[in-house]
Amino acid sequence: MTQPPPRPDDTLRLFSHDIRAAMSDVIGGLRLVDLTRLDPDTRMQLERVAAAGDTLAELVDAVLMAAAGQPVMADATDRVALQALLTGLGHRWSGRARERQLGFDMHCDDGLPQYVAAPRVMLDRIIGNLIHNALRHAASAVEIRVTLSDGDELCVAVADRGPGFPDSVLAGFAGDAADRAMGRLAGEGLGLRIAKELSAQIGAELHIANRIDGGAEAVLRLPRVLLQQTGRKTPADMPDLSGLRILLAEDNPTNQTILRQTLGQMGNVPVIVGDGVEALEELDRQPFDIALIDIEMPRLSGLEVLRRTRARTDVVATMPMVALTAYVLRDNREAIYAAGADGIIGKPIVSGADFGRAVLRHAGRPAGLPEPEDVLNGDTELGVPMNHERFEALLRVAGPVEAVELLARLDEDLRAVDQRLRAGVSNGELSAIREQTHILIALAGAVGAERLFGLAEVLNIAAKRKRVADMAALHAPCAADLAVLISLISARRDSMR
């Protein structure tokens, strides 16, 4: 009997997993290379490939999300370490310049902000397109200057000594919104137009001009609202995971090696198993503080490990469990949380320090980030109440029609969270508080409610630590900010009808 062809969404789910798994192997394999043992030329090329690999992984992820019908948009929770971004761009594009026998000079002023509140891949695409365009037309060298203006505006200027921008590119770049529509872009100036569209999406501005002394220059201007020095307290050093009993269930040998080395750098020696059956056996054999479970494993999937563990009647049923997965599609995430996961850590692991802090937070341990005591004592900085520029950028990306529907869904979801969270706090139901704060963290981050995002994180971690007596006090400021956000979204929705 002939089998019916697979549905498109099933095909996408299968291919997206395999594509992401392959990307994890490529990036992970590059990170396992000891660059200090290589000659300078080989090291430079591997650094270039590694930087491009990180960008490629995020681009592939964005394309797969878009193909699944999920909008790819800037999220207020996204931020990039500026120096790391610039270093990666230097590794990637200096090699390209060298191949073309061109100079490549990057100068960064002192006192630059530590972070930019924007997705790394979007900033990488913007600046990368500017550098690529400059390399195509440069006569001798490309110059990149990163400066901070008197008005605290970050400027990234990319210049070349080539023939300058043609009049057609300058005219088209300054055209109206219809002329800049992505569907009409083609040929000359495409990279510049893409960079301008992406700049608008993150709340920045891009300007191009011909220099008086010859050549062309493109300047990306990032306003003060997108710049952060330390943001929420984020330690620069690797967190200490020594003494934490970690079970790692991962079938891929490369990922096992990467995670073992990453955890080892933080003083931890995890117990590693290769499939779901071995994970359950290990949970019967000894106690753990946290389990990191890969979702796609042989013999028994990570989802089934989560379900069976949560169905137990002993203390193991309540242990923190985090899914390690390349899945990002909404239905995948919902299935993972429904199976009993406390959180999801995406693969590939980009930052070892961020990974370690996530493990600590999910395990209910201090991670150097805002703590319940900080909120109770009123001595922590959790960001601005509302990043309005980010909120408006979100609506612009959605479009005029979809924005109204988006606001309606947000209003409905936030009101439901508010009601259920109040009930959970009133009844002392820690599982309900954890579930609702997890939803609130995602929603607040998406719309730019930075302080609410931080308050929800703190309430979530307090619930994980079973601090029942502190729930009401920690919930009060969270509820106040949530009420303000609901009113804002309701009013904005009414204004767009």
CB-based contact 269:295 (threshold 8 Å): no
What's the confidence (pLDDT) of residue 152? 78
- The CATH architecture annotation of domain 74-231 reads 2-Layer Sandwich (3.30)
Q: Of 204, 209, 208, which Cα lies nearest the Cα of 221?
A: 204
Low-confidence ranges of the chain (pLDDT < 70): 1-36, 43-45, 47-48, 50-78, 151, 172, 174-189, 228-237, 326-333, 348, 350, 366-370, 378-384, 397-399
Q: Of 246, 274, 271, which Cα lies nearest the Cα of 358?
A: 246
Non-local CB neighbours of 494 within 8 Å, separated by 6+ positions: none
Q: What is the pTM of this model?
A: 0.53
Classify domain 246-356 by CATH number.
3.40.50.2300
Tens-digit pLDDT profile for residues 178-206:
344 443 444 456 778 888 888 887 788 88
What is the number of alpha carbons within 13 Å of residue 299 lying toward its C-beta? 13
CB-based contact 467:372 (threshold 8 Å): yes
- d(CA 104, CA 106) in angstroms, rounded, equals 7
What's the confidence (pLDDT) of residue 181? 41
Q: What is the mean pLDDT of the chain?
A: 77
Classify domain 372-496 by CATH number.
1.20.120
What's the confidence (pLDDT) of residue 364? 73
Domain ranges of the chain: 74-231, 246-356, 372-496
Alpha-carbon 330 to chain mean position: 15
- d(CA 425, CA 229) in angstroms, rounded, equals 34
What's the confidence (pLDDT) of residue 51? 62
Per-residue H/E/C for the chain: CCCCCCCHHHHHHHHHHHHHHHHHHHHHHHHCCCHHHCCHHHHHHHHHHHHHHHHHHHHHHHHHHHHCCCCCCCCCCCCEEHHHHHHHHHHHHHHHHHHCCCEEEEEECCCCCCEECCCHHHHHHHHHHHHHHHHHHCCCEEEEEEEECCCCCEEEEEEECCCCCCHHHHHHHCCCCCCCCHHHCCCCCHHHHHHHHHHHHCCCEEEEEECCCCCEEEEEEECHHHEECCCCCCCCCCCCCCCCCEEEECCCHHHHHHHHHHHHHCCCCCEEECCHHHHHHHHHHCCCCEEEEECCCCCCCHHHHHHHHHCCCCHHHHCCEEEEECCCCHHHHHHHHHHCCCEEEECCCCCHHHHHHHHHHHCCCCCCCCCHHHHHHCCCCCCCCCCHHHHHHHHHHHCHHHHHHHHHHHHHHHHHHHHHHHHHHHHCCHHHHHHHHHHHHHHHHHHCCHHHHHHHHHHHHHHHCCCHHHHHHHHHHHHHHHHHHHHHHHHHHHHHC
- d(CA 352, CA 349) in angstroms, rounded, equals 7
CB-based contact 347:370 (threshold 8 Å): no
What's the confidence (pLDDT) of residue 483? 92
What's the confidence (pLDDT) of residue 180? 43
